[in-house]
Amino acid sequence: MAVIKIDDELYEKIKKLIKEGDNRFDYPTVKAFVDKAVFAALKNNPEEHQAAEQQQATGQKQPAGQRPQSRQKNAKGGDR
């Protein structure tokens, strides 16, 4: 099992979201929300997931200065 750290602001946003409407049935806890979000991201981007697994298996790293497409900058300049 892995531990995923999220900041307090994001945690509060997730808690607020899962309390709205029928979301409380789909996401009974913040952990359930994060699990489903990660699974959906992997399911929607199988090429990136496979490339990351392959890099991890071979010990290769991304060349300096290159970012995976999934880590594009947002309008404020930070990662999405």
Query: What's the pLDDT tens digit per position in 33-69?
Result: 999 998 888 888 767 656 666 766 776 655 555 555 5
Q: How many domains does the chain have?
A: 1
More confident residue, 55 or 4: 4
Evaluate whether residue 38 is within a structural domain: yes
Identify the domain containing residue 26 by its residue range: 21-46
Evaluate whether residue 67 is within a structural domain: no
Handedness of CA 18, 22, 28, 32 (dihedral sign): negative
Evaluate whether residue 29 is within a structural domain: yes
Average pLDDT value for residue range 26-31: 90
Burial 23-32 (b: 16+ CB within 10 A, else e): eeeebeebee
Residue from 50, 18, 22 nearest 35 by CA: 18
pTM: 0.51
Evaluate whether residue 39 is within a structural domain: yes
Evaluate whether residue 31 is within a structural domain: yes
